[in-house]
Amino acid sequence: MKMGKQRQGHTVVLDGVRISPISWRQTVDHVMTELDAGRGGLLLTANVDIMYQLSQPESGDLADKANVVVADGMPLVWASHLQGTPLPERVTGADLVWHLSEEAAVQGRRVFLLGAGPGVAERAGAEFVRQNPGLQIVGTDCPPEGFESDEQYMTGLLDRLQAAAPDLVFVALGFPKQERVALQLLEHLPKTWFMGCGGALDMAAGEVPRAHPVLQDIGAEWLHRLFQEPRRLARRYLVDDVPYALRLVSSAAIGRLKRSR
């Protein structure tokens, strides 16, 4: 399912990835408008780590399969400005789970939470409801490791989702698994919107504290996460992501200089 003419306006291309130049408010409005029209889709929030993985052959197809891609990372916003095609703001999955939940409560939409650790989705759902009275959390699922290759489990999960009939599914399995699972489920739930949200449910449940807003604004939220989980994230962030971010920003600036000559 491709976005085609349903995409909001033009797109900004960074390292071959087409990113919608829309704010969080426009993102929420677009999803709700598509739901009104009976159309589902996949919303991909691309941060630097995801952009790096999208540049690799094994994951490079996922951006094209998503209906909407938004910039979940300040280096992407900086690069867009440097190349002369500015993105309006950073649009994070950690924020969108709250914004979408708020609008879902207002419009009577149904939300399903898939992924995260045992009990996390339930606690996140309770917090979403506490802050958005009337929100309908119609189900949660904490799948075991390797479930995506278990045909019986996937069939049962699909049955549960179809019975719950959600409008929105937040998928907290980490990139790229969450997007691949979402695309598989979307084939059978074409009127549902899926969003991969990584650790957003852990944050919403209070399992993991989010970085201070100042760190978020200066593009250093990754440092906060690195200090939280150095063993898991050190190589990924320092060896892969930081050099990639520097290349992304510098190539954007160099490209604009070449065009101006």
CA distance 179 to 162: 19
pLDDT-above-70 percentage for the chain: 96
Give the pLDDT score at 130.
98
Give, in order, the Cα–Cα distances in Å from 226 to each of 92, 177, 232.
18, 21, 8
Q: How many CA within 13 A on the CB side of residue 107?
A: 18
Angle made by CA atoms 105, 125, 219, in degrees to the nearest 5: 90
Average pLDDT over residues 72-95: 96
Residue closest to 181 by CA, chosen among 204, 161, 208, 202: 161
39-59 confidence digits (pLDDT tens): 999 999 999 999 999 999 999
Residue closest to 41 by CA, chosen among 12, 3, 95: 3
Domain extents in the chain: 4-204
Give the pLDDT score at 258.
73
* pLDDT range class, residue 5, cuts 50, 70, 90: very low
- CA torsion 19→20→22→28, rounded to 10°? -110
Give, in order, the Cα–Cα distances in Å from 93 to each of 10, 122, 147.
21, 18, 23
Residue closest to 68 by CA, chosen among 98, 109, 108, 28: 28
Give the pLDDT score at 1.
38
Q: Which residue type is seen at 170?
A: F
pTM to 2 decimals? 0.93
Give the pLDDT score at 261.
65
- Residue 248: both structure tokens together: 């992304």
The DSSP annotation for 84-108 comes to T--------HHHHHHHHHHHHHHHT
Topology of 4-204 in CATH? Rossmann fold (3.40.50)
CB of 233 within 8 A of CB of 198?
no
CB of 191 within 8 A of CB of 118?
no
Give the pLDDT score at 3.
40
Evaluate if residue 218 carries a pLDDT over 90.
no
